Structure 1
Amino acid sequence: MVFVNFHVVTGGGDGGAWAMLFLSAVEGKAAATFVVLAGVGLALGAQRNQTPSFSILTLKRALFLFVIGLINSLIFPADILHYYAVYFVVGLLLIRRSTRTILIVALVLPLVFVALLFVLDYEAGWDWETFDYAGFWTPSGFARNLLFNGWHPLVPWMSFLLMGFLLARLELGRKKTQNRLMLYGAVALGAAYALSFVLSSDPELAELVTVSPIPPGPLYMLAGAGAASLSIGICLWVFRKGQVNWLTPFTRTGKQALSLYILHIIVGMGTLEGLGMLGGQSAETAIATAGLFIIISVIYAIVWARFFRSGPFEWLMHKLVR
């Protein structure tokens, strides 16, 4: 996600084949995986807490993320936190429903999005040269961005959270489950790219069969779900094998996902702005600066964990919503 976001703010410039291939491979996949993981975490929390207090706590967290996300949007228009807030609120309506109901809704949303493309103007508000969104702070513009044509619109991105709900109902600790997650994820990811390659030769279908997150068509959703399934399966497989001490720096970093997301905007992008690197940079520059930020983030997380149990924004959210 850091690689993609840094590429956006540094100008989205072209670069060598390897750089463009790398950015294309991760574009939209990391964000989708994080939403799926959020769904898994939310569903596991609901399984542990069957009382109304779970919904109240989730709504408080959603409000916190919504406010923080809107503040973030003043700096970085592609903020995802305020979308998370809405995912969580809608998710509460489905989290205790049957597996069949959740699956149907998850499968229908991408189709609804395609139908909306024929009814609504997907390009409304967008300036594709600058990625500015006119009218974002107006009621109609905000609603349109949030629900349909923003960076991570509820329709169809809500399907990723619902996928997390479904995964949480599996026996994730079993070898068989992990193998299936990796296999099905790889097949889905490969199928999405293969179908996109074959079908995109038809100009009339090109926009509908892209694996790019803008617009998030069915094949992008399939690719994102496949990448999430594959990534989660690999992580579970690695932990089941044991000998994971070498992963400690990364697990400590992962525990500060919220803080590091905010810091990569405030500190990371703020530094780029101070150095005059917002716009006009190559893809290689975006990758290099993002890689440097990631290394610094891991070091920071290791040091921070020696003195504190949670990241600064995780601590703040806990204090405000408990």
Structure 2
Amino acid sequence: MAADTKIGRLEGLDLARFIAFVGMVIVNFSIVMGAEGAGGVLGAIIYGLEGRAAATFVVLAGIGLGLAGLKGEINLTIFTTFKRAAFLLVLGLLNMLIFDADILHYYAFYFLFGALLLPLSNRALGWVIAGLATTAVLMVLSLDYEAGWNWTDLSYPEFWTPVGFVRNLFFNGWHPVIPWLAFLLYGVMLSRWALSSARTQDALMLGGLMAFLLVNAVSAYLQPLLAMVDPELVDLVTTNPIPPMPFYLIAGMSVASMVVGLCLRAAPLLKSIGVLAVLNPAGRQTLTLYLAHILLGMGVMDELGLLGGQTTQSAFLASGIFCALAVIYALIWSRFFKRGPIEALMRKVAG
């Protein structure tokens, strides 16, 4: 399926970004509030969102990068992406001083390598994705995945050392380039499809659902078999984000496909009843809101003594309140400014 010859703004993608953002807020608030790993329906939702919401975000970033490459001169797109990657690296490292699970500095390298690989065909990108998945498995089998970690408080004391930084970035950090770059490249591949076509949207929804069910079924079947051989081999066939193995990549890509397809398919109806007008301004400010949920959201919770020892209900309530306030803020801001404050700063600094 070829990309549309004339590319307009796909408003469903802004909705998808907002949905992915909400998922990331729920996961991150649950972690810092100590509600992760709880049982019940809410605990199951948190578990299902872990790694999937962030993966969807990266796939959407890849779609954005791919569409930029289709709209303009590719060398200019690559150069601009390099500058934005540098901006995100600085921003992410500053954020690391506050929030150990920062994803922005990883994004910098996703974009760096993604821009370099942008001229490749979809077939070639598919081979790169397969190579990343294979390399991730070989690294987990041959290297110490727990190196540098303090699992007691989920900190990485060696992050600020050269060896620790490289290890965390490419191998065993929260969102390591190998294999997380695969999500961005998958997004680039999707950007070349006819995303405005209902047929493509249906294929993304149905194909994503079938792939998600299949990979989870195969994973559930293989885990007890490998456990009898060597319990440590079970990690190779789980869909858990840590360590990120091939089945996790497939699960993450399938969820992203479903979200993108559903949001694009539902966009015309949601636009007609005014939903997009309310939610999409927040979807266009996800960089600003990502930082806000750490600096403001977690900052307020810290002042109120809500970090640690909280219930899943409290985590969902806090997430709901923050996301509602984010929607209201973005809606008001969009009446006066085209971009969010951090998005405007990045545009001014990096183009």
Does the pair score TM above 0.5?
Answer: yes
What is aligned with 1:101? 124
Deviation at 1:16, TM superposition (A): 4.0
What is aligned with 1:298? 327
Whether the aligned pair in 2 keeps the contact of 1:192 and 1:222 (CA below 8 Å) is: yes
Answering whether residue 243 of structure 2 is matched by residue 215 of structure 1, we say yes
Whether the aligned pair in 2 keeps the contact of 1:13 and 1:280 (CA below 8 Å) is: no
Match of 1:165 among 176, 188, 197: 188
Structure 2 length as normaliser, TM-score? 0.89
What is aligned with 1:46? 69
Deviation at 1:192, TM superposition (A): 2.2
Match of 1:91 among 103, 114, 118: 114
Deviation at 1:143, TM superposition (A): 0.3
Partners of 2:107 and 2:273 in 1: CA distance:
30
Distance 1:91 1:13, change over 3 A: closer
What is aligned with 1:195? 218
Query: Could you list the per-position Cα deviations for residues 17-44 of structure 1 after superposition, in whole angstroms to 9, with x for gaps in the alignment?
Result: 1111110111111111110111111011
Deviation at 1:53, TM superposition (A): 2.4
Deviation at 1:253, TM superposition (A): 0.7
Answering whether residue 284 of structure 2 is matched by residue 255 of structure 1, we say yes
Partners of 1:18 and 1:281 in 2: CA distance:
16
**Residue identity opposite 2:45 in structure 1:** F
**Residue identity opposite 2:144 in structure 1:** D
Match of 1:269 among 298, 320, 326: 298
Q: How much identity, in percent, do the aligned residues show?
A: 46
Whether the aligned pair in 1 keeps the contact of 2:62 and 2:185 (CA below 8 Å) is: yes
Deviation at 1:230, TM superposition (A): 0.3
**Residue identity opposite 1:206 in structure 2:** V
Query: Could you list the per-position Cα deviations for residues 152-204 of structure 1 after superposition, in whole angstroms to 9, with x for gaps in the alignment?
Result: 00000010011011101111111111111001100111122212222222323
Answering whether residue 81 of structure 2 is matched by residue 71 of structure 1, we say no
Match of 2:259 among 212, 231, 243: 231
SS in 2 for 1:96: coil
Whether the aligned pair in 1 keeps the contact of 2:37 and 2:47 (CA below 8 Å) is: no
SS in 2 for 1:127: coil
Structure 1 stretch displaced more, 50-59 or 166-175: 50-59
Question: Where does structure 1 lack aligned partners over 5 or more consecutive residues?
Answer: none
Whether the aligned pair in 1 keeps the contact of 2:267 and 2:276 (CA below 8 Å) is: no
Partners of 1:290 and 1:209 in 2: CA distance:
31
Whether the aligned pair in 1 keeps the contact of 2:78 and 2:116 (CA below 8 Å) is: no
Distance 1:92 1:194, change over 3 A: same
Match of 1:134 among 145, 157, 182: 157
Question: Number of residue pairs matched?
Answer: 322
Structure 1 stretch displaced more, 114-123 or 281-290: 281-290
Partners of 2:123 and 2:39 in 1: CA distance:
45
Partners of 1:184 and 1:22 in 2: CA distance:
22
SS in 1 for 2:97: helix
Whether the aligned pair in 2 keeps the contact of 1:13 and 1:281 (CA below 8 Å) is: no
What is aligned with 2:19? none
Answering whether residue 310 of structure 2 is matched by residue 310 of structure 1, we say no
Partners of 1:12 and 1:107 in 2: CA distance:
35
SS in 2 for 1:132: coil
Deviation at 1:287, TM superposition (A): 1.7
Question: Where does structure 2 lack aligned partners over 5 or more consecutive residues?
Answer: 1-23
- The alignment yields a C-alpha RMSD, in angstroms, of 1.4
What is aligned with 2:32? 9
Whether the aligned pair in 2 keeps the contact of 1:253 and 1:298 (CA below 8 Å) is: yes
What is aligned with 1:144? 167
Deviation at 1:211, TM superposition (A): 1.5
Partners of 1:271 and 1:234 in 2: CA distance:
34
Deviation at 1:89, TM superposition (A): 0.7
Answering whether residue 136 of structure 2 is matched by residue 113 of structure 1, we say yes
Query: Could you list the per-position Cα deviations for residues 115-151 of structure 1 after superposition, in whole angstroms to 9, with x for gaps in the alignment?
Result: 1111111111112221101200000000000001001
Partners of 1:47 and 1:168 in 2: CA distance:
8
Partners of 1:60 and 1:12 in 2: CA distance:
38
